[in-house]
C-alpha cells in the first residue's frame, strides 16, 4: 500500500515537472518567434528605406548626367562656334583638342594634328624651342606667357606665317596638367596698320615730291640750259666736251627720276575714255624698239577685249614698265607673250616672259617703292604701276609658274563704255 502511494506521488510530481518544462519551452519559443518577427519587420523596413534611397539616388544621377551632358554640349558649341582658335595640349605639348576656329586659322583638320606636337604650328626658332619652354615652366613654375598673353607668329599648313595674339590658361584634369591656348588672328589689324602707314608715308612723299618739283626741277632746268651753252662755246676737239655731255646725261637721268617720283607720289586722277587695248599694247610694244639694248625683243599680242573705260596714258606707262621688266629679265633677247581676255566682268592682260622668274624671297617686296635688283633701276616701276592700276579699281597679280619665267597680269574692270 505504501509503495503504491509512493508511486502515485512520484507520478504526480513527474507530471507537474513535465507541465512546467513544457510551459517554459512554449514561452521560450514564443520569445524566439517574437524576436524573429521583429527582426524580419525591421529588415523589411530597412530594405524599403534602402530601395527608396536607391531610387532617389538613381533619379539624381540621371538628372546630374543630363545636366552634365547639356553643359558639355553647350561648352562644345561655344568652342566649335568660336571665331578664335582654341587648342588644348598636354604637359608634353601634344595636341588634345583643336577647334574649327583653329582649323580655319592654320589650315589643318583636327584629325591631322591630334596627338602631334603643338610646335608644328610655330615657325623657327619657336618650333625648335617650344619643348624646352614647356619643360622649364613645368620645372620652375615661372610663367612667360601663361596667364599673360602676347603677340606671337603662327605657321599655317602651307608654311606661310601670320601674326596672332595668344593667351594660355592652365588646368589640372584627373591629376594631369593641361594647357588651353586661345588664338586671335591679328592679320587684318596688322594689314590695316601697314596700309595706314603706307598711306601716311605716301601722303608725305607726295608733299615732298611737290616741293622737289618746284624747288629743284626748275633750277635744274636752268643749270642744264647753262651747261648746254657752255658746251657750245667750247673750242672744237676740246677734252671738256665729253665732260659736258656726261653732266647733261646725269641731269637728264635726275630729271627722269624726279618725273618718276612725282608720278608715283602724286599720280594724276585718271581721265577715262574709250580704250581699245590691243592697239594700245601694240603701239607701246613698238616703243621698246627705240631702246637699242632691247632691239632683239619681240612682243606677241594675242586675244582681244571689248573697249574698256580707262586713262590710256596711265595704262601705257603701266604696260611699258611691265614690258621693260620682262625684256630686262630676258637680257634683251626673246619673246614676250601678251594675252588679252575678258571673263566675269574682268579684263585680264597677261605679260609672260621666259626670264629666270622672281626669287620667292623677294616676291613680297617687288611692289615696294625703290626696291630694285638692277644696277640702274629706280625700283619705282611696279610701285607706280600698282598705284595707277589701283586708281582704275584694278589689280596686278604676279605668278612664277614652275615651268619658268614670270607672268604679270593686269586685271581691270571690263565695264561697258
Ligand X SMILES: Nc1ncnc2c1ncn2[C@@H]1O[C@H](COP(=O)(O)OP(=O)(O)OP(=O)(O)O)[C@@H](O)[C@H]1O
- Closest residue to bound Mg ion by CB: 381
Residue 85 binds which of ligand X, Mg ion, none (CB < 5-8 A, kind-dependent): none
Beta pairing partners, 346: 343, 413
The yes or no reply on residue 379 touching ligand X (CB under 6 A) is: yes
The residue range among 53-61, 238-246, 339-347, 374-382 that interacts with ligand X, by the rule CB under 6 A, is: 374-382
Rounded distance, CA 345 to CA 360, Å? 31
The yes or no reply on residue 209 touching ligand X (CB under 6 A) is: no
Q: Which phi and psi angles does 150 have, rounded to 5°?
A: -165, 170
Q: Site residues for Mg ion, window 307-346 (CB under 5 A)?
A: 325
Residue 406 binds which of Mg ion, ligand X, none (CB < 5-8 A, kind-dependent): ligand X
Residue 374 binds which of ligand X, Mg ion, none (CB < 5-8 A, kind-dependent): ligand X
According to CB under 6 A, which one of 381, 388, 389, 394 is a site residue for ligand X?
381
The yes or no reply on residue 321 touching ligand X (CB under 6 A) is: yes
Angle 240-265/187-212 helices, nearest 10 degrees? Answer: 140
> Could you give the angle at the alpha carbon of 311 between the alpha carbons of 297 and 306, nearest 5°?
75
Which of 166, 380 has the CB closer to Mg ion?
380
- Helix boundaries (H) for 83-153: 100-106, 110-113, 126-140
Closest listed residue to residue 114, CA positions, set 129, 126, 103: 103
Q: Site residues for Mg ion, window 211-230 (CB under 5 A)?
A: none
In Å, the largest CA–CA distance within the chain is: 199
Which of 284, 325 has the CB closer to Mg ion?
325
> CB–CB of 181/89 below 8 Å?
yes
Measured from the CB of residue 325, what is the shortest distance to ligand X in angstroms?
3
146, HSE (Cβ side, Cα atoms, 13 Å): 16
The yes or no reply on residue 378 touching Mg ion (CB under 5 A) is: no
Rounded distance, CA 348 to CA 411, Å? 5
- Closest residue to bound ligand X by CB: 381
Residue 332 binds which of Mg ion, ligand X, none (CB < 5-8 A, kind-dependent): none
Site residues for ligand X per CB under 6 A: 321, 325-326, 329, 353, 355, 358, 366, 371-374, 377-383, 406
Site residues for Mg ion per CB under 5 A: 325, 381
Amino acid at each position: 500500500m505504501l509503495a503504491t502511494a509512493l508511486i502515485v506521488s512520484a507520478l504526480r510530481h513527474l507530471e507537474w515537472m513535465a507541465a512546467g518544462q513544457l510551459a517554459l519551452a512554449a514561452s521560450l519559443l514564443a520569445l524566439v518567434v517574437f524576436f524573429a518577427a521583429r527582426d524580419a519587420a525591421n529588415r523589411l523596413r530597412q530594405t524599403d528605406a534602402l530601395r527608396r534611397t536607391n531610387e532617389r539616388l538613381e533619379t539624381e544621377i540621371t538628372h546630374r548626367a543630363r545636366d552634365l551632358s547639356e553643359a558639355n554640349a553647350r561648352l562644345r558649341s561655344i568652342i566649335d562656334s568660336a571665331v578664335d582658335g582654341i587648342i588644348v595640349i598636354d604637359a608634353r605639348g601634344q595636341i588634345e583638342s583643336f577647334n574649327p576656329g583653329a582649323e580655319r586659322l592654320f589650315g589643318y583638320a583636327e584629325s591631322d594634328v591630334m596627338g602631334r606636337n603643338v610646335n608644328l604650328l610655330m615657325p623657327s626658332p619657336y618650333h625648335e624651342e617650344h619643348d624646352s619652354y614647356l619643360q622649364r615652366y613645368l620645372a620652375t613654375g615661372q610663367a612667360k606667357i601663361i596667364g599673360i598673353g602676347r603677340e606671337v607668329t603662327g605657321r599655317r599648313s602651307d608654311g606661310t606665317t601670320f601674326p596672332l595674339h595668344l593667351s594660355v590658361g592652365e588646368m589640372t584634369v584627373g591629376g594631369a596638367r593641361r594647357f588651353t591656348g586661345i588664338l586671335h588672328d591679328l592679320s587684318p589689324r596688322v594689314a590695316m596698320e601697314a596700309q595706314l602707314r603706307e598711306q601716311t608715308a605716301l601722303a608725305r612723299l607726295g608733299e615732298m615730291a611737290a616741293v622737289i618739283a618746284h624747288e629743284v626741277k626748275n633750277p635744274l632746268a636752268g643749270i642744264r640750259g647753262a651747261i648746254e651753252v657752255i658746251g657750245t662755246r667750247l673750242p672744237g676737239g676740246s677734252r671738256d666736251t665729253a665732260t659736258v655731255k656726261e653732266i647733261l646725261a646725269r641731269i637728264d637721268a635726275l630729271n627722269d627720276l624726279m618725273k618718276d617720283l612725282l608720278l608715283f607720289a602724286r599720280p594724276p586722277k585718271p581721265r577715262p575714255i574709250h580704250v581699245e587695248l590691243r592697239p594700245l599694247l601694240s603701239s607701246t610694244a613698238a616703243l621698246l624698239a627705240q631702246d637699242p639694248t632691247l632691239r632683239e625683243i619681240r612682243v606677241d599680242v594675242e586675244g582681244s577685249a571689248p573697249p574698256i573705260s580707262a586713262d590710256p596714258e596711265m595704262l601705257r606707262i603701266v604696260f611699258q614698265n611691265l614690258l621693260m621688266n620682262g625684256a630686262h629679265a630676258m637680257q634683251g633677247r626673246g619673246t614676250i607673250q601678251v594675252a588679252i581676255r575678258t571673263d566675269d566682268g574682268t579684263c585680264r592682260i597677261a605679260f609672260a616672259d621666259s626670264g629666270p622668274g622672281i626669287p620667292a624671297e623677294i616676291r613680297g617686296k617687288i611692289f615696294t617703292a625703290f626696291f630694285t635688283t638692277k644696277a640702274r633701276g629706280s625700283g619705282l616701276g611696279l610701285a607706280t604701276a600698282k598705284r595707277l592700276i589701283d586708281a582704275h579699281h584694278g589689280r596686278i597679280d604676279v605668278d612664277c609658274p614652275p615651268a619658268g619665267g614670270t607672268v604679270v597680269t593686269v586685271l581691270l574692270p571690263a565695264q561697258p563704255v
